[in-house]
Amino acid sequence: MVTFFECFFELQKEAHQMLFSWIPFSVGDSIYIISGIFLLYYFITLFSKQRRNHSIIKILIIINIFYCVYQIFWGMLYFQTPIIQKLSSQEAPNVKKAKKLALIYLEKCKLSRQSAQENNQGVFIITDLASIQKEILSQQAKLPSYISNKKAPQIPDIKPSIFRNIMSFTGILGYYNPFTAEAQYNSGLPSTFIPFTTAHESSHQLGFAREQEANFVGYLTGVQSSNPELRYSTEFFTLKSLLRFIAEEDPEFVKNILHHYSPAMKRDRAYEKNFILSHQGWLDDFFGFTNNLFLKSNQQEGSVTYSYFIDLLLNYEK
């Protein structure tokens, strides 16, 4: 059954992307807004005794339709064979190896940052997002066959989310819409986040449902790229992920790495930190909690634990 749904996904993703990619705004977001309005209307009518039973039935119908379509278009992909089982090495994450790789990616980031553009404050900026999106699709077609035999449609269908302002306060960088096969990103993010977030969401479009596997495929997409903006964003994400993994056992090593960031990298890090701190609040906590429940209900680790990406990274690099 999982194989059947994988084949079905290949058909529907290409059909949906051909159908919706040419529309300049997110059709999926529009569907969410319209559905939300209907649900809100029926919730309000629950207070009317004459219409209460009718409203309950309508609410249940809407929820069940969404859930059924979600499972057909996307939910079954969480049961695919994990990527880790496709790698020749399947050792547990090792802090010592992570440290060696962190030192390598520190130097990679320093070098690639020199090729990137920056604004008047010396902070990294994106000059051509469209070329980054085309490069992502091009790199997806070059993924190792033992990791992915999925077809990469060369149809750019990555759009800024309508909910940009709200997303900035939720900690959500982007999301995939299973009903339209569109990938959305928060265009209000610091530029260091956007190229890799785009690669991550495009990995979902390719058919990788698990969050950390989408991170890993995004990493494979960006780390060999000739586009300096995509490569730097990917390397920076990889370095930060390694440091988060190492920090629990050796915080002094992490402090030393941060101290050896290049001046440009330090400016980028400071800008990211200021953005995150200025958008923290109850929405961030609420969506963190609900996202944790969602991940655990879909064959994944919780949102707090990201060791699976490190597991994939270290075994692949080996």
Strand, helix or coil for residue 155: coil
Strand, helix or coil for residue 20: helix
**Buried-state track 96-126, b at ≥16 Cβ within 10 A, e below 16:** ebbbebbeebbebbbebbeebeeeeeebbeb
Q: Each residue of 130-161: pLDDT tens digit?
A: 999 999 999 999 999 899 888 888 888 899 99
Q: Higher model confidence: residue 56 or residue 299?
A: 56
Report the pLDDT value the prediction gives residue 306, as an integer from 0 to 100: 54
Report how far apart, in Å, the C-alpha atoms of 42 and of each of 48, 140, 154 are: 10, 43, 41
Report the pLDDT value the prediction gives residue 284, as an integer from 0 to 100: 52
Report the pLDDT value the prediction gives residue 309, as an integer from 0 to 100: 93
Report the pLDDT value the prediction gives residue 45, as an integer from 0 to 100: 86
Q: Each residue of 165-199: pLDDT tens digit?
A: 888 888 889 999 999 999 999 999 999 999 999 99
Report the pLDDT value the prediction gives residue 286, as an integer from 0 to 100: 45
CA distance 41 to 64: 17
Q: Higher model confidence: residue 309 or residue 301?
A: 309
Residue 56 has pLDDT above 50, yes or no: yes
Structure tokens at 164: 């940009």
Structural domain boundaries of the chain? Answer: 2-78, 83-317
Residue 299 has pLDDT above 70, yes or no: no
Report the pLDDT value the prediction gives residue 290, as an integer from 0 to 100: 52
Q: Each residue of 7-42: pLDDT tens digit?
A: 999 999 989 989 999 999 999 999 999 999 988 988
Report the pLDDT value the prediction gives residue 298, as an integer from 0 to 100: 53
**Buried-state track 36-51, b at ≥16 Cβ within 10 A, e below 16:** eeeeeebeebeeeeee
Report the pLDDT value the prediction gives residue 280, as an integer from 0 to 100: 76
Q: Percent of the chain having pLDDT more than 90?
A: 68
Residue 287 has pLDDT above 60, yes or no: no
Torsions phi, psi of 82, nearest 5? -60, 145
Pick from 55-59, 226-230, 269-273, 296-300: least confident: 296-300
> Which phi-psi region, left, alpha or beta, contains residue 207 (left: φ > 0; alpha: ψ -120 to 50)?
left
Query: Using an 8 Å Cβ cutoff, are 174 and 161 in contact?
Result: yes
Report the pLDDT value the prediction gives residue 210, as an integer from 0 to 100: 93
Comparing CA positions, the residue from 294, 308, 307 lying closest to residue 67 is 294
Number of Cβ within a 10 Å radius of residue 230: 29
What does the longest C-alpha to C-alpha distance in the chain come to?
Answer: 69
Report the pLDDT value the prediction gives residue 92, as an integer from 0 to 100: 77
Report the pLDDT value the prediction gives residue 302, as an integer from 0 to 100: 46
Report the pLDDT value the prediction gives residue 296, as an integer from 0 to 100: 52
Which amino acid makes up residue 42? Y
Report how far apart, in Å, the C-alpha atoms of 90 and of each of 143, 244, 289 are: 19, 21, 30
Structure tokens at 73: 């278009």
CA distance 21 to 216: 25
Partners of 108 in beta bridges:
none
Query: Using an 8 Å Cβ cutoff, are 124 and 232 in contact?
Result: yes
